[in-house]
Structures are given as structure tokens and as C-alpha cells.
Amino acid sequence: MDGQTQLTVRRLPVWTLAICAGAMLIFIVPWLGTQLIYDRTAVIRGELWRLMTGNLVHLSTSHLAYDLAAFMISGTIIEIRGYRYFAMLCFLTAMMIGVAILAFEPALHYYGGLSGVVTATVTYFCLHGLADKGSWRWLCAGLLAGLAIKLWSEMWIGNSLLLSVSTEAFVPVPLSHLIGAFSALLLFILMRLSACIRCTKTAV
């Protein structure tokens, strides 16, 4: 296997494809959805895995399609460009969203969807992109600015800007998007601090 082939294999969006496949499987097999969706009563009863797995459960075909399309694009960008800790980002975000909903949304009994994780992935690749040069840097800066406006607006009106004009039966949860952006920023900062510490130790 030559170097170019090795690079291609190494840059396949493996995690992105695996997470999308998992979400599709859960949607196709309803029994899985009932066992994995965020269910506040079940979580309090001890089924803690639902805090994380609820992000993979979708409540309609369009819900699934929107989330998978956005996640496929953002996740592929992260993996193709070689930004590190993508899997950690997804797991961290999923858990933080579940915990935040449990703590701050007591009236919300059920939750599902990847939109919070999508927000995290977009935030993450944009933060990385700010260090690049050329048009990609400016595109990432513009996306971050637009995302900040979107998050502020959603928290202000208590609804998703994208879904407020749709006929979706489910209720969007802006908190999940805010937590997604925060988790990406947190991981990015920790990653940079870790790199700075390693560089300092090497220099010494």
C-alpha cells in the first residue's frame, strides 16, 4: 500500500459514518429507540446511559434527515482535515447535553436528536479553522459569528430558528445547542492548553 492510499484510509470519516449508521439503525428499529431515548423518569430510576444515547434517537424521518445531513458534513470536515479528538468531542457533548437537560429542564420528560452534537462539531471545526489561512479562515469566522447569533436568538425566543417555521411535531431544545457549542469550546481550550504545556516541557 503506497503513502497516498494510506493517507486516504487514515482520513476516511470513520466516526462520522459510524455515528450516522447508529442513528439510522436506532430509527429503523423502534425498540432500540425506546430503550435509548432520554427519558427523565428512567434516568432518575438509574438508566444513566440514556443521558448520552438520547442524542442518537430521532422522532421523525425529517428530524433524522436534517440531523444526519448536518452531522455528515461537519463530522466529515473534522475527520478529513485531521482535527484531533473528534470522538471525544462527540461523547463529551452527548453526556453534557444529557446532564444539562436533567438539571435545567425538569419539565422535559423526553429528548432525542443530534442537533446539539452537530452544533458542537460545527463550532469545533470553525475554531480550528481560525488558525488556518485564506478563505477557509474567513468562512469559519463567518460561521462562528452566525452560530453565535443563532444561539443567542434561540435562547431569547426559546425555539429553534430553523424549526420555528417548520411543521415538526417535536419541540426543539435550544439548551442542547448552547451546551454543544460550550463543550466544543471547552475541549478546544483544553487541547490548546495541553499543547502549550507539552511545548513548555520540551523547551525546558
Q: Mapping DSSP to helix (H, G, I), strand (E, B) and coil, where does residue 3 land?
A: helix
Spans of all domains in the chain: 3-203
- Higher per-residue pLDDT: 194 or 33: 33
Query: C-alpha cell of 52?
Result: 448520552
Q: Tell me how long the chain is.
A: 204
Report pLDDT digits (tens) over 39-85.
999 999 999 999 999 999 999 999 999 999 999 999 999 999 999 99
2 vs 182, which has greater pLDDT? 182
Instruction: Check if the beta carbon of residue 91 is closer than 8 Å to that of residue 52.
Output: yes
Pick the CATH number of 3-203 from 1.10.10.10, 1.20.1250.20, 1.20.1540.10, 3.90.1150.10: 1.20.1540.10
Say whether pLDDT at 2 is over 80.
no
Distances (CA, A) of 84 to 19, 108, 124, 154, 184: 17, 33, 10, 29, 12
Residue 76: Cβ within 10 Å count: 19
Q: Specify whether the CB–CB gap between 38 and 56 falls below 8 A.
A: no
CB 106 within 8 A of CB 100: no
CB 55 within 8 A of CB 117: yes
Distances (CA, A) of 35 to 21, 25, 55, 66, 109: 17, 13, 12, 23, 14
